[in-house]
Amino acid sequence: MKSKISLFWHRFKEGLSIKGISLILLGAAVCTFGIHNIHQQTSITEGGVIGLMLLVEQWLGFSPAFITPVLDLSCYLLAFRYLGGRFIKVSAISTLSVSMFYKIWESFPHMLPDLSPYPLAAAVLGGIFVGIGVGLIVRQGGSSGGDDALALVISHKSRCRLSLAYLFTDLTVLGLSLSYIPVTRIVFSVITVTISSFLIDKVQSFGKAEQRRQEIRIKNRGGIENG
């Protein structure tokens, strides 16, 4: 039994590093801080799986406690098929980290002033927190929830930018949400998901193009020397 646990742990930690896990924890802390202290205070609705969960609850009356794990699991199964086992492994760490930091922030009073009278400021600031936090998680090869997994699969299969994949899923859900949410509230949600999608893409890809160019130059130089 002990050897099986040891083997499982050895396989689980393959490809993971202290730096990578630390960045996942930082991303989870930043993302959940923004959602708890800005989005939840100002009632700015979300796109992606969270928005879809609210939509299904409104239309069909299913409890969020039931529909959320079903939607997340469906997205993760799809991601496992196209993105592989390492993605699921890292996502398990990031999802647990997100849950842990939600619990931490909920243990304290809100740490930012209520921006409900200033919905534009709330939308912009909330989008920045979510964009940077989720971007750090996605950069390590994982996701903070089913909506990230779905966007990554769409980006992988269609070969479009990650920001466009996020926008597609978010705007589709927000468009359907017009069936029960006033247009004035949806506008601010569109602003926040646009900002977060852009930042997730930028944080995830930051410095990687230059790194790839350096790897190609080193490879070409080695080929010339060997020739």
Render pLDDT for 168-220 as a digit per residue (tens, 0 to 9): 888 888 888 888 778 888 889 889 889 988 998 899 887 665 555 554 454 55
Query: How many Cβ atoms sit within 10 Å of the Cβ of residue 89?
Result: 17
User: Is residue 36 very low, low, confident or very high in pLDDT (cuts 50, 70, 90)?
Assistant: confident
Q: What is the mean pLDDT of residues 80-90?
A: 81
Q: CA torsion angle for 136, 138, 144, 150 (degrees, to 10)?
A: 150
CB 171 within 8 A of CB 196: no
Q: Given this model, what pLDDT does residue 136 score? A: 92
Q: Could you state, in order of their start, the residue ranges of all structural domains in the chain? A: 20-226
Largest CA distance in the chain: 69
What mean pLDDT value characterizes the chain?
Answer: 79
Helices assigned H by DSSP within 84-145 = 85-106, 119-139
Q: Given this model, what pLDDT does residue 121 score? A: 93
